Amino acid sequence: MATGTLPPRPSSGTGTRSPGRAQIAARTLRTDSWRKAPTLTVVLLSGWVLYAVISTATQSAYFVKDYHYLSPFSSPCVTASCDPAARDFGAWFGHFPPLLPFAIVVLPLLLSFRLTCYYYRKAYYRAFWQSPPACAVAEPHGRYSGETRWPLILQNSHRYFFYAAVLISVINTYDAILAFHGRDGGFGIGLGTVIMLVNVVLLWAYTLSCHSCRHITGGRLRHFSKHPVRYWVWTQVSKLNARHMQLAWTTLGTLMFTDAYIALVSAGVLGDLRFFH
């Protein structure tokens, strides 16, 4: 009856092979395709970062002057290298050398917001650091200290990046409003306007669905009943928060799509589909 397929092994390992535990050699006995999710995360996140680096480093095709479409990757555009029409907040710096993104002021903040995001943490701890690659699959590291030490203890700063992300979302909203711009300088709506609008709405949804936001608006309270307004806000944020992962991925997509669309129109590859002027 016993097949004894597993060779006996010394019980002096670590993790699931620690002394005392059931002696099973396999790293995992999962039979489903647990590698799929982390692999997909690596491919998609790497692809996105690659695209973003190339797009911002080229310092070109970030702006459509006729319709005032400014790519979110280059907003706010505050260097003398920017197209004068795109400098909605003035020029704070002189000319940038090549390869330096125009939105250098906010990009680190935005990246940090996503880097310290509770969802992305899960995604990249699992996919890149394999800690763990999937549930009940042993991780390849001998030691583990979680987020107790430098640098990972800095993850606790997430709420500050959230504050920054709110400000940046305001700027993105301003950009979307300016994109209601006709060729004649007056009011106008094109496909680009719609794309920028959808992007900014989803960015708001992602930003407000943040776990820190949920905590700040109401989560930190002990008595909801004494703060009915904050409780209502908390329930709404909680509903969004349940979709935090979906929003995290969707906004990566819409950011990239918005940037790509503006680049294509700016380079003259595509003509913007105009609905009004």
Partner 1 sequence: MGYQASFRVWRGDVTGGQLHDFTVPVNEGEVVLDIIHRLQATQAPDLAVRWNCKAGKCGSCSAEVNGMPRLMCMTRMSTFDQAETITVTPMRTFPVMRDLVTDVSFNYTKAREIQSFAPPADLAPGEYRMRQVDVERSQEFRKCIECFLCQNTCHAIRDHEDNKQSFAGPRFLMRIAELDMHPLDTADRQRAAQEEHGLGLCNITKCCTEVCPEHIKITDNALIPLKERVVDRKYDPLVWLGNKILRR
Q: What is the contact surface with partner 1 in residues (CB under 8 A)?
A: 1-6, 8, 11, 14-16, 18, 20-24, 26, 28-32, 118, 121-122, 125-126, 131-132, 135-139, 141, 143-148, 152-153, 156-159, 211-212, 214-215, 219-220, 222-225, 231, 241-242
Give the span between the Cα atoms of 147 and 121, in whole angstroms.
Answer: 11
Pick the closer one to partner 1 by CB: 17 or 277.
17
CB of 166 to partner 1, least distance (A): 15
Give the span between the Cα atoms of 181 and 178, in whole angstroms.
Answer: 6
Specify the DSSP class assigned to residue 146: T
Query: Is residue 254 within 8 Å of residue 202, measured between CB atoms?
Result: yes
Give the span between the Cα atoms of 141 and 133, in whole angstroms.
Answer: 11
Pick the closer one to partner 1 by CB: 98 or 223.
223
Pick the closer one to partner 1 by CB: 67 or 120.
120
Give the span between the Cα atoms of 274 and 116, in whole angstroms.
Answer: 39
Give the span between the Cα atoms of 37 and 130, in whole angstroms.
Answer: 12
CB of 155 to partner 1, least distance (A): 9
H-only helix segments in 82-157: 107-115, 118-127
Q: Which residues pair with 64 in a beta bridge?
A: 69
Pick the closer one to partner 1 by CB: 138 or 197.
138
CB of 242 to partner 1, least distance (A): 8
CB of 42 to partner 1, least distance (A): 15
CB of 144 to partner 1, least distance (A): 5
